[in-house]
Structures are given as structure tokens and as C-alpha cells.
Chains A and B, each alone.
Chain A
Amino acid sequence: MDLATFLIQCLNSLQYGLLLFLVASGLTLIFGIMGVINLAHGSFYMIGAYMAYALAPVVASTFGGGFFATLFVGLVLAVVLGYVLEWAFFSFLYEREHLQQVLMTYGLILVFEELRSLIVGDDVYGVQPPDWLAGTIPLGEVMTYPVYRLFISGVCLALAAGMWAVFTRTRLGMMIRAGSTNREMVQSLGIDIKFLYRVVFAAGVAIAVLAGMVAAPVSSVYPGMGNQVLIICFVVVVIGGIGSIRGALLAALLIGVVDTFGKVVFPQAAGVLVYVLMALILLWKPDGLFKAG
């Protein structure tokens, strides 16, 4: 592998890893702060991708907007969806056992899949990136790199930075962190913990939906895509350490590298390398790379 190829594969790894982090961060947020195992998280990613496909023509005909208008409308819908779901279902789950959480959220997966099938059908759809992001930039002699993938990396990095800032630098972040360790204490200080949880949950949903929308042009839109991404997201959360955003970022980037180079260097074993990585890390650190705290 020459240097140019190596560097491009590094870019590919980074882009995949960052996107994975974006989906997984919502999962680890909800798990780490509220203690809810949310199997339906992959469905939010799928909903995002289908939104990118189905919403674009609606947005274009109603507001005359393009790609970013669609992203914006999709985000607003996602926040509403997250808020309503938390109110209707998840707020009852905090005190329940993990088994009951798993059953409930698995039920939600089935509901979302059926709704998806009813509304948009079971076909595979392609989504076009906006024209000005559709090109490639040359790297080396025959190599090129798609501009849109740089855009994805940019969006993911910006969001990661934003999340870090909110958690460590704001009063809201402080309250959320406090609420995750001692719910009663925070409540007795006069903070509306229920509302706080609802906001965190809606944010987690919105991030997953955004990831799905941004990923749609490079991943296509197909039935069952949510469950595929869910599995790998749980791997990210487990490797990174449950509830640790920093751990999720590192784990996602590691998986990006292993998956990308694995596909190319050991094509026959590509499917299992990520799980081998998980097993090795858990042998070394049974709680994952970083423990939340």
C-alpha cells in the first residue's frame, strides 16, 4: 500500500468512524444518563435516512428549499418525535428492569419497521447529495476523494465538539451529569428532572435522525438498515464504556480503522474483525475503555 492509498484509507476510516460515533453517541447518552437500553435507537437512524429520501421533495415543493432545508425540517420533526416518545413510552421505563426495557423498545422496532413499510414501501432508494457537494477532489494520480464525505466528517466533528462543550462547559450539562448520578438530589434542588430527561432524550433521537439523513447519500436507504447500525452501535458503546461520550468517540474511530483496513487487507475476515477487536478490548478492560463518571 503506497502512501497516497494509505492516507485516503485513513480518511475513509475517519469518515466512517465519525458517522458511527454520531449514531452511537445518542445511544450512550440515553443509556448512560437515563439507564435505558434503547433497542429502537437504530430505528431513529433509519427514520432519518428515509426522511432524507421522502422529505426532500415535500420540502422542495412547500418551501422551495433544498438539502439544508430538508435537514432542518427533519431535525425539527425528530425533536418532536423524541419528545413525544419520551412522554408516551420511555418516561415509564426508568424505574423498570432492563428486560422490560428491551421488550418495550424491541416492540418499537417492529412498529417503526411496519410503519416504514406502509408509508414508503420496501424498496431500496438512492439519495443524491446536493450538487455543490457532489464532486470529488483529486488526490494523487488516479485517486479522488468525494467532497460529500468530507462534509459528513465536518458535520460529525462539529457535533462532537458541540456535545463536549454542552456537557463540560454549560449549566445544562452540569445538571444532566448530576441528574445521572443522583436523580433525587437534583430534583430536590428545584430542577425539573423530568423535563431535563425529556430534553436529553429528544436530543439523542435528533442526533441519530441527523446521522441517518446525512448518511443517506452514501449508504442508500433500505429496509432493515436500522438494525444493522444498531448492532455496531452497541459494539461502540460496549468498547467505549457505557455512558462515556469520550469512550464512544474513541471506540467509533477504532472501529472505523479496523473495518476499513480489514475490508481491504483481509477481505475474507472483514465481517468478524470488529468483533475480534471488541473481544480483545473487553479481555483487557472488561468495562470498556472509559468508565462514565
Chain B
Amino acid sequence: MSFTRHALAAAALAATVAAPAALAQGQPPLKVGLMLPATGTFAALGTAIENGFKQHVAEQGGKLGGREIQYFKVDDESDPAKATDNVNKLIKRDNVDVIVGTVHSGVALAMARAVKESKTMLIVPNAGADAITGPLCAPNIIRSSFSNWQPGYATGVMAAQKGYKKAMTITWNYAAGLETVKGFTEAFEKGGGKVTKDLNLPFPGVEFQALLTEIAAQKPDVVFAFFAGGGAVKFVKDYDAAGLKKSIPLMGSGFLTDGTLDAQGASAQGLLTSLHYADGLNTPRDNAFRNKYAVTYKMQPDVYAVQGYDAAQILAGGLSAVKGDFGKREAMVAAMRKMTVDSPRGKYTLSAAHNPVQDFYVREAKGRENVMTGVAVKVLPDPARGCKM
């Protein structure tokens, strides 16, 4: 008899302790749709984001908030024209709970519009388009990266602090470039400087010659550039080749030298940029992340890997708060808003518009690394203009 009683008591105890876990156990796997570029110019960035996301899931024993994760993948090809079709494959065909994507701002804008209707949860692990946490902001849209305005603004603060008075900007004539330049101008002019001319050329053109001639003629104190990938390599080399590097300092958002230093070689050495991640942060958190990443994927992590890793962290934070019950969406989003993300880039929180409120580092290009040499702006929130939530 006493055996039965003990057994019952033990069973009851076990049941109370294990109840949340049991609830989570009983639930089907959480369906996560990864909509990232797998081909094209941004393929490597898509891989880094996916690697980062999966690294965090692996660290949690393959589960987030007690839920198994089931992946669905779509290659978005960084093609805005195909974005709506692609995102609907995940929403309507695969019926996913959460979508993680993407790199290209134009594609991400289409994704944001689609999930606004379907209410599917969207975590944006890179695309910086201001509108995503601006006019398009929504309770089910969260960004683990940055808004284009942010790194531009941080670089503007840096340039003003250096005492430069007259700046020229140069970028591609598309959303990411123009929004970054806007951020730079805002901070630089607030700091007492003046942007005398904005130069731009069509994306992804790289015929800089006429514009470099104009820069040489106007002799500003500093030039702010936004380019990424192959265009960034070409610009930094052409800037040097035109003899401008010696006479007019060049600054940029971190994308000017991220993942491009190898190809830029000597031309990039000493360039100052600003971004929410850098090499040589040398915090225990970042070192642990980098070591594990290097061992798992046999390559060094970059800012994209960190953003993917954080996308998983934010999802995990929200899910744990509701014990894996994805039905409690409001409580889950409230928990995400309140959480402090323990990112390799440094701790940060999410703004009311769901954009990271984070530190921006001063980075100097040394060898093959963008080494952190200081902080440009601490806890910089995105102004989230136009967000009604």
C-alpha cells in the first residue's frame, strides 16, 4: 500500500515539475521558414545567417523554448520581383509559424507586407530598410540586425567628433544607400558639419571615375561612402588609385569593409567605419561564440552570422516565456520586447518598433580585420519614424 501511495505522490510531484516540459513535449515541432539568398551575390551572407541561427538552436539542445524546430527553406535569390511568391510558399503552402529572412531590403519589404496580412511572425536578420521598423512596423515583425539609418548616423557622429566641417557623400541610388546617407547627414550636421554634396550612381554600377574627379575638385574634409560587396572593393581601390586616400579621409558604414578586406588589400588599410559588430571585441561572450562558430563551420563568423544567431535568441526568449505555447502570441511578443539579448556584439534590447537599441563601434581596418578601437555611439535607438504601434 505504502508503495502505491509513494508512487502516486512521486508521480504527482513529477507531473507538476514536468508539466511545462510535458506540454511542450506534446506539441508538434515549431515550423521555421528560412527565406534567405542561397544563390547570387548575397549567397555567402545567407549561409552565415543560417549557420548563426542553427548554432544557437544547437546550443539549446536542438530546441527553442522546449519546442523542436522543423526547417523549411526557400531561396529568395535576392530578387524583389519573386519575393511575394516566395514568401507565400512558406506562409500558404508550408504553413510555417515563423519566417526568418532576409538580406536584400527590397525583398524584406515585400516579406513585411505579406506577413502583415497573414500575421505570421517575421524575424529580419539583416535587411536594414528603415520602413520595416518604420511605417511597416507591426507586432509580428522583429529585426535582429539594424536599420540603415543607424550605422550612417553613428559614422556621422564619428566624423563630426574628428572635427571635419565639410563632407561629401557617395552611394548607389537605392534605398539602403540613400537611407544610410540620410543617417550620416543628420548626425554630421547636428555635430556642426555640413554635407556639401551627395553623389550617387545606379545600383550596382561601379563607374566611379567622374565622381572621384568631382571629389578631388571640391576637396571636402571627409568623404562618407556606402557600398557593399564587389562594389565596395572596387570603390575603395579606385579611391586609393585616384590618389585621394592620401589627401581626403574616407569613412563608411561598416559594410564598406566587412567581408571585403581581403580583396581591398592595402587600399583599405586604416579606413574608419562604424557598425554594430567588429573584430577583436574580446569579450567572453563573443570569444565563446567565435570559437564555436569556427569549429562548427570551419570559417570565421561575421556580422551576418551574429544577426542570425540573435534571431534564434530572440525567438527562444519569446518562446520560453510562454513555455513553447506559440498560441500565446501577445505574451510572447511582450517577452521579446522586455528581454535583453545577450548577443556576441554586446547586450541590447529591442525598441518599441522592434529594432535593436545597440552600441555602434568605431572600427579601423588593420590587416584582414576591422578592429574595434572605440564606441561611436552607445545604445543608439532607431528613430522609427512613421511607426504606429
Contacts and interface: CB of A to CB of B under 8 A. Distances in A.
Interface of A: 1-2, 4-5, 8-9, 12-13, 15-16, 122-126, 134, 136, 142-144, 146, 149, 218-220, 222-223, 228, 259-261, 263-264, 267-268, 270-271
B266 interface: no
A263 B201 contact: yes
Given A122-B39, A126-B233, A5 B243 contact: no
A144 B216 CA distance: 9
B238 to A, nearest CB: 9
Contacts of B202: 270-271
Contacts of B214: 5, 9, 263-264
16 contacts: A2-B217, A4-B217, A5-B214, A12-B209, A16-B209, A122-B40, A126-B230, A134-B241, A142-B217, A142-B219, A146-B241, A218-B207, A218-B209, A220-B230, A222-B41, A267-B197
A222 B230 contact: yes
Contacts of A2: 217
A34 to B, nearest CB: 31
B58 interface: no
Given A124-B41, A146-B241, A9 B198 contact: no
Contacts of A260: 210
A143 B216 contact: yes
B230 A125 contact: yes
Contact of A144 (B39, B43, B229, B243): B243
Nearest to A146: B241
A220 B231 CA distance: 8
B366 interface: no
B177 to A, nearest CB: 12
Contacts of A4: 217
B175 to A, nearest CB: 15
Contacts of B207: 16, 218-219
The 8 closest A-B pairs by CB, nearest first: A124-B230, A5-B217, A260-B210, A264-B214, A144-B243, A220-B206, A122-B40, A12-B210
A8 B230 contact: no
Contacts of A143: 213, 216-217
A174 to B, nearest CB: 38
A223 B41 CA distance: 9
A125 B204 CA distance: 13
A1 B209 contact: no
A263 B199 contact: yes
Given A123-B230, A126-B230, A259-B210, 17 more contacts: A5-B213, A9-B210, A124-B204, A124-B229, A126-B233, A144-B216, A146-B241, A146-B242, A220-B206, A223-B41, A228-B205, A261-B210, A263-B201, A263-B211, A264-B199, A264-B210, A271-B173
A2 B230 CA distance: 33
Nearest to B242: A144
Contacts, number: 95
Contacts of B39: 122
A257 to B, nearest CB: 11
B222 to A, nearest CB: 15
A259 B205 CA distance: 13
Contacts of B237: 126
Interface string B169-209: 00001000000000000000000000001111110111101
Contacts of B198: 267
B41 A142 contact: no
Contact of A142 (B199, B233, B247, B263): B247
B213 A126 contact: no
Nearest to B219: A142
Nearest to B78: A122
Nearest to B217: A5
Contacts of B217: 1-2, 4-5, 142-143
A272 B168 CA distance: 22
A124 B231 contact: yes
Contact of B242 (A1, A9, A136, A263): A136
B209 A270 contact: no
B31 interface: no
B260 to A, nearest CB: 10
Contacts of B242: 136, 144, 146
Nearest to A149: B209
Contacts of B263: 126
B234 interface: yes
A9 B197 contact: no
Contacts of A268: 200
Contacts of B210: 9, 12-13, 16, 259-261, 263-264
A149 B41 CA distance: 27
Contacts of B200: 267-268, 270
A73 to B, nearest CB: 25
Nearest to B206: A220
Contacts of A9: 210, 213-214
A136 B229 CA distance: 25
Among B214, B219, B231, B242, find the residue whose CB has the most chain A CB atoms closer than 10 A.
B214
B199 A267 contact: yes
A218 B241 CA distance: 12
Interface string B227-253: 001110110010001111001000000
Among B173, B217, B241, B244, find the residue whose CB has the most chain A CB atoms closer than 10 A.
B217
